[in-house]
Structures are given as C-alpha cells and as structure tokens.
Structure 1
Amino acid sequence: MRVVIIFLLSALLPLSLSHGRGRDPFAWLYGGRGQGYYFASLQADTAGGDCPAECDCPPTFPVAMYCDGRGLTAMPSIPSRMKYLYLQNNAITAVPDSAMVNATNLVWLMMHHNQLTSDAIGKKAFLKMENLERLYLQHNNLTIIPSNLPRSLRDLRISGNKIEKVTVGDVEGMDNLTILYLHDNAITDMGASLKALVSLTLLDISGNKLTKVPEALPTHLHQLYMESNSIDSLPENFLGGFSQLQYVRMAHNQLTDKGIPPNTFNVTGLVELDLSFNKLERIPLVSTTLQHLYLQANQIKEFSLGSFCSIVDISNFSKLRTLRLDGNELSRQDIPMESSLCLRVAHEIEV
C-alpha cells in the first residue's frame, strides 16, 4: 500500500519545456537576444571580412562565430577576434595544433557532439588559449582527457566519451575550474587526481565503472553526483571534510548497510541525499537539517523514526520535506503514529 502526498512542481519547470520552445532547433540561436538577432546572423560578416563561408559571423555580435550543425568534418579557419566559437553537432574528427593558432582570444569553445578521437587532438592545440573559460567536449570518441588544456578553464564538460582514467596531470593547475562533467565514461579509478581543484563546486562522475569513492575530493564541492557506478561502501568520515556540500546523489550503486559507517550522513548542511536503487536494509541516520531523502527501491524492512529524530519537541524535529521509501518492504502500517511530530514539515512522503 502506498501513502502519497503530492507536492506539485509544475511551476518550477523551465518555460522552454512547458511551452514547447525547447523543440525549436534554432531557439538557442536567437533566444534571449530578440528576433532581430536571428536575421542579423544570416547577413554578411562586416566586422572583419574573414568569416569562413561555412559559418555565420553576425555583425551584431562580431566576436562570435556559429558553425554548428553544418556537416563539417574539419576545423574551419578562426579569425583572431573571436571569443565565442560554436562547432557542436558536426562530424569533426581532429583538432590539429595549427587549427587554434589564431584562436588565442576564445572564451567559449563548443565542440560537443562531434567525432573527435584523442590521438587526433594535437598536444599543443589548446596550449595558447589562455582566456578560455568554457570548453564542451561531451559526446565525442575521446579515450583520455586532452593534454595541455588551458588552466583558465571554469567549466569543462567531457561526458559521454570513452575515458577510462583521470590523472593528476590532466587537471593540474586548473585553479579556476568550478564545474566538471565526467559522467557516462568508462572510468575505473581516479585516485587523488582531483584534489588540487580548489575551486570545484560541481562534480558529476555518474555512469562510470567506479567501485569506490575517489580519494581526496575537493573540499569546496557543493554538488557531488556518483549515480550508476558499482560503489558498495563509503570511507570513514566520507562527508566530514566538506564545508559546503549540499547535494549528494548515489542512486544505482551497490551500497549495503555494512558499507556505510555510522553517522556518515548525519552532517549539517546537506540538503538532498539520493540513495535509491541500492541494497540498504535500514534507513541510515541523517541530520535533522536534511530536506530531501530518496531511498526507494532498496530492501528496507523497518521504518526507524530514530533515523530522523533522536529528540522531538517544539524546536527539535526533522526539516525533511521529501521522503521516498516506495519499492521497499514497508507498508502504511509500519509508520509509527508519532512520525507526524518528527516529520512535521514533510510535503511528500511515499511508502
């Protein structure tokens, strides 16, 4: 039997989804800049006269070059004035060292959804791009992280490739990197390769082949995503070293009660914890400050109120708003009457 209290979230959906705008393949081109921008992008380049014929260099935005979705198989020539280069959704297979000679002013480089291979990227291709902040390389055929990436990067997305290993040298010196997407690769071990990323706030290593939590993760993480791996246990004081961590997602792993040390999740600051689709038999002890807990599709047999509240009074109660326990070995009768005092602010409970 299921007990469900639904909290509607439709008002939080992006407008692009609720109004169908996301289905317009050209919405990204003119969205947010007015309709006139789209027509301007089809005009001739009047800012320097050196725009490649296969790309658009709109005079209203002379530092941007749009070459996305053009069926390109090779890198176009890049005028030195460019700061924003869009090359996604092509069939580009290589980035030779010579391709980026004039691209030293680039701030954004979008090369996702191409056919890049690691051995076809020159070792010096990105070396002189000292201003590059955002590099998108997801959904290519890379087996390693390209060498000599700019140390100026703030956002590196390299998911959906075939990367098996991450080394210290791959990200060394990236003191400004705040976002790192490595999900959906084939990574088996990362060692302590990410320790030096002192500014990293979001790390997504979901959908890999990890059997343990990487060592020495950056201490300023705000979001840590490790779903769909093969992790069966957590190290002692797993979350104790983080000062700003709020979101931890570890769904679809092999976690057991034995593999989770006591009080692992009883840490203040954590807002969301997702442990669904694991092998837990008990509800782990969590902090009273936790707001969203996902435990569906485990093997939990008991609703232990002490996991949420050790003391219940006017000022001591759980701040939990969402609790998912469906897909376990529980029923409505397993919920104690006094749970309404402990879980008094819950908007959604599903058993």
Structure 2
Amino acid sequence: MLLAFLQTGMPTEKSSSFHPRSQHVVSRLSTGRHIHTSPRWFVLCFACASPTFCRAPRRSNGSFPTMPPILGLFLLISTTCFLQATDGAKSQFRFPTHRTVRHPSFNFRSKRSMENQFFPAFMTEEMMADEGSGGKPKDIDVPVKHATPRTPARRTEVHVPEQTCPFTCQCQPKLIQCSNVRFEEVPEKLPAELEILDLQDNKITEIKDDDFSNLVDLEVLILRNNKISVIQPNALAPLVKLQRLYLSRNALTTIPPNIPPTIMELRLHDNYIEKIMKDSMKGLNHLICAVLGSNPLSGDAIAAGAFSDMAKLAYLRIAETNITSIPTGLPGSLKELHLDSNKIKQVKKGDFANLVNLIRLGLSANEIETVDDEAFKDLKHVKEIHLDSNQLTAVPPGLPDLKKLQTIFLHNNQISKLSNDSFCSLKRNYKRVMYTVISLHNNKLNEIPQNTYSCLNGRGSLHLGNS
C-alpha cells in the first residue's frame, strides 16, 4: 500500500514532444519537463517525521532538549517536501518558455504556385525564341504543366541513381541536362521515368531507333544546335507523351518521320529542309506552335493544305526563306502568322480565307508590290499588320473595314499618295477603326489630306519621319 501511495504521489514527467496547441511546432520546456505534485507529499512527510518529534524527551522545565539528530532529519525531509511541492506548483501555472522547431511535415512552400515553372532555368530565351526571325509567340497560350496539390508529407530526399546519370551531365529527378558536353551520340541507359532531356549544343549526328526506346514518359526533348542529319524512322515513335520537340540548328533535310501525335510545340528552323509535303506533318492534331523558318524553302516548296489538318495550330512562323507566295489551306485556328523576310511579291484575294481568328500578321521585308482588293476581308479580328520594308506604292485597300485593327506598319516602302479613306472610313453610321500606331516613315509622301488620320486614337502615335 505504501508503494502504491508513493507511486501516485511522486512527481511524474509529462510528455511534451509537441505543443498541445499546434501539430507543427515542437515545444520543450526550458526545465525539461512538467512537474505535477500531489498534497500527499505533505501527508507522507508528516507521517514519517512527526512520531519521532512527538516522542522527543523534554526537560524538567518543559523545554525541548538540544536538537537531536532525528529532529534534524525531520527538518530536512520537511524542507525538501516543501520545496518540491512549491516548485511543482509553479511549474503548473508558469507560462512555458519554449523553442520552436518546424515539424518535418510542415512545408511553407507547398502553397507556392508552380505555374510557369515547367521550363527549367537552362531553357534560355534564345532557345525558346525563333533565332531565325528574332520573334516569339504573343497571345498564344501553350499549356504548361501544373503541380497537383498534395497532402504535405515528410520531406524525403530523392536522387537519380548514379548509374543512370551520364558522365559530365547534371541530373535531377525526371530531368537530365547534358548540354554542351561534346556528346557525339545519345547517352545510353537513360532512366525510364525521365520527363525532360536536354542534349543541346553537342555534336550528335544521328538519332537511332533505340535511342529513346524506354522513355515513354518523356515530355520535352531538346536537341537544338547539334549536327543531326538523320533521324531513323522509328526513333521518335516510343515517345508517346512528347509535347515539345526542339530540333533547330541542325542539318536535317526533311521533317522527321513519325513525330508523336501528342506534340504541341515543334521547332525546326535553321535546318536544310527544302520541302514540306502534305503528309509531312500528318496526324499532328494537337500542334499549337510550329516554327519552320530559316530553311531553303523556295517557290512552291510548301504543298497546298500542308497545315490544313492541324485544328489547334495557333502560331506559325515561316520566316527567312525563299517562298514566293503565301501558303494555301492554312487552318482557321491560327492567331499569329509570320511570313517575314521571304520573297513574296503579291497578296492575293483568298490568301487569308478562313483566318477569322488571326490577330497578328507579319509580312515585313518581302518584295510585295500590290495587295488585291478584299485580300484582308476575312481578317475579322486582326489587330496588328506588318507590311513594312516592301515595295508598296499605295496603302493597301480595305484597312478601314478591319474594325479591330490597331497597329499598321507601312514604313520603308514607296508610298507616294494618301487619300481621306486610306485608314478611316468616310461612311456615316459606320464603326470607325481606332488606331494606336500608324507607321509611314521612309516613304515618298508629298501631301497628306486633312482627314487622313481622323481615326487615330488620342494617345496613339503617327510616324512620318523622312516621308
């Protein structure tokens, strides 16, 4: 009984690994433990010491004799009990001072948006942009990979096994970067879970059928600025999840065969491609962005309807080639069409048929002399037209009918005459175009009619230098 009494009345240490008010904070008292003291300590001490005190002999005058050793023991026990009890009482009411440590499951970055982090830092502006024409898509929404919200879990380190990381490369989970390491062929034994593979700026000359045979999860393949002249027929077929393929600045003479139908972005500029056949890009129904400039395309090298089956194509650039006419059969999904720095001589009626969603049209630095009436008739939503650095002698007809047109570049031409309705409609009760930029500098203008720019926005700009 006495043992049970002592066990219930002795100080106990209460676990305090986590603060009771937060599951993310580890709190530990500065004293190291909580002490809970029971009043039974007083009863125990008095029961043990008082009999000896009461039986101590008295002198004849009634006073106590000199303190015997047993009395000193009694006082020692009493003092110890009192201090222990008061210290326990204080510990129950004192506000615990503690140090704060983040619990492993708490990750304050978990709420950070992962949007726009699909492309790693090594994917430079030069790689993303069209080196041949110096531009990149605007207003084109190419889907990017988003992080899926997950329940916070214990932080664990994940490393790519050393045997799967090629020598001189930099490896992270699902990403391998082997740029500018002088590889002459695709490295072997790449991990099957790879999603991004960067092999740009090397000396690879050929892509073999089995180079990517196990990369079924690959989404981005970067092969720009190599010396690739041959891609074997089934080399790209295993890449069933591929979305972006960068093959610019190589030595290809044809569009690679069997490009996966999941592809959304294809860059083939700065190669030696001479023809684009109707079946060259067949089945690419998910393609959004295609860049094919700086290739030796000439005359009718682009077959009619070569892009007609691409229902999602929004951005097409074929710049710095020798084509002499606008490709026919372009899909109605196009929002940007860039045909700058070619050899186009005329814009004909029907060249832009069905392009009702086109927003931006680039025809700069060609050899355009005439634009047919109603050539722009179908461009219901166009906002920006580039016709600078051509050989135009008059403002193209039909501009006042383009009700959403805001910017027109006509500088560096041979325009010598303007009329009142060159840019603004003279019809009554007719919605007028409100321009923000009209560029006419470096032309041969001698006279400008008074109402030529009446529809220029109040904050817009008019460029007339050297005209």
TM exceeds 0.5?
yes
> Does 2:231 align with 1:121?
yes
DSSP-derived class of the 2:408 partner: strand
Does residue 160 of structure 1 match 2:270? yes
* Match for residue 432 of structure 2 among 310, 317, 321: 317
C-alpha displacement at 1:316, in angstroms?
3.7
* 1:237, distance to aligned residue in structure 2 (A): 2.5
CA distance in 2, matches of 1:341, 1:93: 59
- Check the 8 A contact 2:214/2:238 in 1, yes or no: no
Find out whether 1:220 has 2:220 as its counterpart. Answer: no
Distance in 2, Cα, partners of 1:345 & 1:185: 43
Say which SS state the counterpart of residue 454 (structure 2) adopts.
helix
Helix, strand or coil at the partner of 1:321:
strand
CA shift digits 1:41-74 (9 cap, x unpaired): xxx982334211231112xxx0011111112121
Are positions 1:28 and 2:122 aligned together? yes
Q: TM-score, normalised by structure 2?
A: 0.62
Question: Structure 2: how far apart are the matches of 1:249 and 1:170?
Answer: 24
- Residues 223-265 of structure 1 deviation map (CA, whole Å, 9 limit, x = unaligned): 00001111112232322311210111011112122xx221222
Higher mean C-alpha displacement, 232-241 vs 270-279: 232-241
Given candidates 330, 342, 350, the residue that maps to 1:229 is: 342
CA distance in 2, matches of 1:116, 1:297: 39
Contact 2:328–2:351 at 8 Å: present in 1 too?
no
Q: 1:297 maps to what in 2? A: 412
Aligned to 1:132: 242
Aligned pairs (5 A) from 1:1-351: 28=122, 46-49=159-162, 50-58=164-172, 62-77=173-188, 78-117=190-229, 120-188=230-298, 189-191=301-303, 192-257=305-370, 260-266=371-377, 267-285=379-397, 286=399, 287-311=402-426, 316-331=431-446, 334-345=447-458, 347-351=460-464
Structure 2 gaps of 5+ residues are 1-119, 126-156
Amino acid of the structure 2 residue aligned with 1:124: N
TM-superposition CA deviations, 1:166-207 (whole Å, max 9, x none): 112221011000000001101122112111111100000111
Separation in 2, partners of 1:218, 1:30:
30
CA contact (8 A) 2:422 2:452 kept: no
Change (3 A) 1:328 1:30: closer
Separation in 1 of the partners of 2:123 and 2:259?
27
The structural deviation recorded for 1:112 is 0.5
Tell me if the contact between 2:421 and 2:452 (Cα under 8 Å) persists in the aligned partners: no
Q: TM-score, normalised by structure 1?
A: 0.81
Give the conservation status (yes or no) of the 8 Å contact 1:91–1:114: yes
> Structure 1 CA distance, aligned partners of 2:169 and 2:457?
58
Deviation at residue 340 of structure 1 after TM alignment: 4.6
Change in 2 beyond 3 A, CA 1:268/1:29: closer
Distance 2:309 2:124 in 1: 38
Secondary structure of the 1:301 match is coil
Q: Distance in 2 between matches of 1:318 and 1:121?
A: 50
3-state SS of paired residue (1:344)? strand
Distance of 2:456 and 2:374 partners within structure 1: 19
Q: Secondary structure in 2 aligned to 1:171? A: coil
Deviation at 1:213, TM superposition (A): 1.1
Partner of 1:17: none
| Greater relative CO, 1 or 2 (CA 8 Å, sep 6+) | 1
Q: Distance in 2 between matches of 1:101 and 1:274?
A: 44
Q: Distance in 1 between matches of 2:258 and 2:334?
A: 24
Report runs of 4+ in structure 1 exceeding 4 Å deviation: 312-315
Mean Cα deviation higher: 305-314 or 268-277: 305-314
**Offset at 1:338?**
2.5
Counterpart of 1:64, as a letter, is: L
Which one-letter code corresponds to 2:174 in the other structure? V
1:320 and 1:346 in contact (8 A); partners too: no
Q: Is the 8 A contact 1:322 1:348 kept in 2?
A: yes
What's the CA shift for 1:289? 2.1
Question: Aligned partners of 2:244 and 2:263: how far apart in 1?
Answer: 6
1:211 and 1:346 map into 2 onto residues whose CA distance is: 38
Question: Contact between 1:182 and 1:204, CA under 8 Å: does it hold in 2?
Answer: yes
